[in-house]
Amino acid sequence: MLLVCLSQCKSEVRRPDIMVIPMPSSLVNMAGTFSISSQTKILINSDIPEMHRVTNYLCKHLEDAYSVKNKVIFSGSAEKQSIFIRLNTALPISRESYYLTVNAKGVILQAVSPAGLFYGIQTLIQMMPPIRQKLSEVVIPAVEIKDMPRFSWRGLHLDVGRHFMPTAFIKQYLDYMAIHKLNTFHWHLTDDQGWRIEIKKYPLLTTVGSVRKETVVGRPGSKSFDGTQHGGFYTQEEIKEIVSYAADRFITVVPEIEMPGHALAALAAYPDLGCTGGPYEVATSWGVFDDVFCPGKENTFTVLEDILTEIIPLFPGEYFHIGGDECPKSKWQKCADCKQRMKDEGLRSEHELQSYFIQRIGKFLNDNGKKIIGWDEIMEGGLTANAAVMSWRGEQGGITAAKERHMVVMTPGEYCYFDHYQADPKNEPLAIGGFLPLKKVYNYDPVPAILTADESHFILGAQGNVWTEYLKTPEQVEYMVFPRAAALAEALWSPKSARNYDNFKSRLNRLAKVYDLMGIHYCKTEFHE
Ligand code: ACM
Ligand code: ZN
């Protein structure tokens, strides 16, 4: 650790170490420091609303953490002793990249887009002390940073089907993502155990489908249930509020509406959507259930398209996740409507019926301006044109998809499932299984070695998946996600050459202080206290 005071600093001022996560692509320590006080002007060269949002984020941090209040002034050029936030579309860098220069004269941050400036501000904030205390001056070390993300999909997922998570927590989750430069929130909104999004045309989806009468205690198969109703859903107004909160943090929200499997909550609300007509019940245990949407009945598509029609405008992002995983075919095999559909469409197997389902929904979404993404089972029976694949049963699905020139997001269970244990299960709260320690997440490379350079361009990135069968509260979610999300963030942002686990661990000590200040209930196994 560099604790020496370099000759340029005032004798009493120590040059702080830079402990940024994720590690920037290029970082050169320079001599000296810059001190931010309430006299420091923040200059912006563009008046677009995002510039104000980005700048306000910085001002809010300075004020909330240190009671330093700065004036924001419109200016075409830098001035001495100022922080100049410059939108500069002429720079030869990609959208989320930024240049950050700090020296005794001031700070200059430049990017081609507000997103890049936002990431530069995250880095600048991480150069400040991780404390909440009134300061007359906030001292930051001099540095030259040129930074760009390695991947464009830097994701974190959250399953709110198994356990509903309140809106206030979703916003915190987005705040946590932002400080890690994660940019894609995959929101798993429906499952067997709960439908969590208001659909005005089909109100029973939430009045019936969002409520389960009780929840299994322990593992599935246990005869013990808690006897307590569990429910909750987001109104469309709340969804809009969250999507806008995410956009302020340059996070895209990708909704997931599960089909054709994991659909029991929807079937409980509208039994006509299943092969047998029910009755069905919102699941009270975990697993894969045989009752799924019936692709034999035309009404299934009418209703699903109505549902999607309400959801599409709420989410401005490019991709829409349609699930597609773990769909048993046993009900389809016995259903007269499904058999008829297979005959009419010349489908030779139930796998092809699954493919028919995905292709039909995929076309509807394409026609309505969305690209589809689904779990790797969407490749069964032939992959829909334009569909992106989320590889979760290992990396093979992603490898095959990339070779077929489909976009891929890597989420293999072995490296990306944050519901797996992160320490000795003996001492941990009950979890679904597996073992995924911090170091293993850190060392994950989303580009499989078997892909050629050309094929590797189809790997958009990766994401951490957070299934909540065993996570009933926001605190439990936080415990499973942090600090593993920090390890994944660095694997997704930093160049391979800049990654070093021991060095990451030393920087993580600073981040832990930020977690403490934010009230995150992170796992402390990797911190030897
Ligand atoms: C999954 O974990 N079933 C995608
Ligand atoms: Zn059927």
Enumerate the domain spans of the chain.
Answer: 10-147, 153-527
pLDDT value, residue 529? 47
- CA of residue 5 to ligand 1 center, whole Å: 52
Query: What CATH number was assigned to the domain covering residues 10-147?
Result: 3.30.379.10
Mean per-residue pLDDT for 343-351? Answer: 96
Mean pLDDT of the region 364-392 = 93
Distance 243 CA to ligand 2 centre (A): 35
Distances in Å between the Cα of 502 and the Cα atoms of 42, 65, 464, 480, 491 are 36, 29, 22, 21, 14
Q: Is the peptide bond before 166 cis (omega within 30 degrees of 0)?
A: no
Reduced to 3 states (helix: H, G, I; strand: E, B; else coil), residue 156 is strand
Averaged pLDDT score across all residues of the chain: 96
Ligand 1 centroid to Cα of residue 474, in Å, is: 20
Whether pTM exceeds 0.95: yes
Q: pLDDT by residue (tens digit) across 65-124?
A: 999 999 999 999 999 999 999 999 999 999 999 999 999 999 999 999 999 999 999 999
Whether 238 has a pLDDT exceeding 80, the answer reads yes
Q: For the chain, give the longest Cα–Cα distance.
A: 84
Contact 256, 197 (CB under 8 A): no
Quote the radius of gyration of the chain (alpha carbons, Å): 25
Closest listed residue to residue 214, CA positions, set 222, 203, 202:
222
Atom 3 of ligand 1, nearest CA residue: 325
Alpha-helical segments (H) within 271-421: 298-311, 330-334, 336-345, 350-367, 396-403, 413-416
CATH 3.40.30.10 fits 153-527, yes or no: no
pLDDT for residue 386:
84
Residues in the chain: 529
**pLDDT tens-place string over residues 424-463:** 999 999 999 999 999 999 999 999 999 999 999 999 999 9
Side chain identity at residue 10, one-letter code: K
Per-residue pLDDT at 133 exceeds 60: yes
Q: How confident is the model at residue 13 (pLDDT cuts 50, 70, 90)?
A: low
Predicted confidence (pLDDT) per residue in 209-226, tens digit: 999 999 999 999 999 999
Q: Residue 5: what pLDDT?
A: 44
Query: How far from 287 is each of 17, 291, 296, 355, 421, CA to CA, in Å?
Result: 48, 12, 24, 22, 18
Q: How far apart are alpha carbons 35 and 14 in whole angstroms?
A: 12
Name the residues around ion ligand 2, CB cutoff 5 A. Answer: 275, 294, 296, 335, 337-338
Q: Which atom of ligand 1 is the closest one to the Cα of 467?
A: 2
Q: Poorest-confidence range of 15-24, 240-249, 250-259?
A: 15-24
Distance of CA 271 from the midpoint of ligand 2 (Å): 12
Structure-token match 């904030």, residue found: 125
Where are any strands of DSSP class E within 23-170?
Answer: 26-36, 41-44, 72-74, 82-87, 98-103, 106-111, 138-147, 153-159
Respond yes or no: is residue 191 known to be catalytic. yes
d(Cα 44, Cα 120) in Å, to the nearest integer? 14
Q: With beta carbons less than 8 A apart as the criterion, state whether 359 and 383 touch.
A: no
| Mutation probe of ligand 1 site: the residue of 192, 393, 410, 467 with most atoms within 8 A of C-beta | 467
Q: Ligand 1 atom closest to Cα of 326?
A: 3
Asked if 326 is an active-site residue, the reply is yes
Nearest to 293 by CA among 326, 322, 267: 267
pLDDT attached to residue 528: 62
Is it the case that residue 1 has pLDDT exceeding 60?
no
Q: Which residues line ligand 1 (CB under 6 A)?
A: 325-326, 375, 392
Cα(36)–Cα(22) distance, integer angstroms: 23
In whole angstroms, give the CA distance from residue 371 to residue 383: 13
The pLDDT tens digits for 411-425 are 999 999 999 999 999
Give the separation between CA 280 and CA 272, rounded to whole angstroms: 10
Sorting pLDDT into bands at 50, 70 and 90, what band is 14? confident
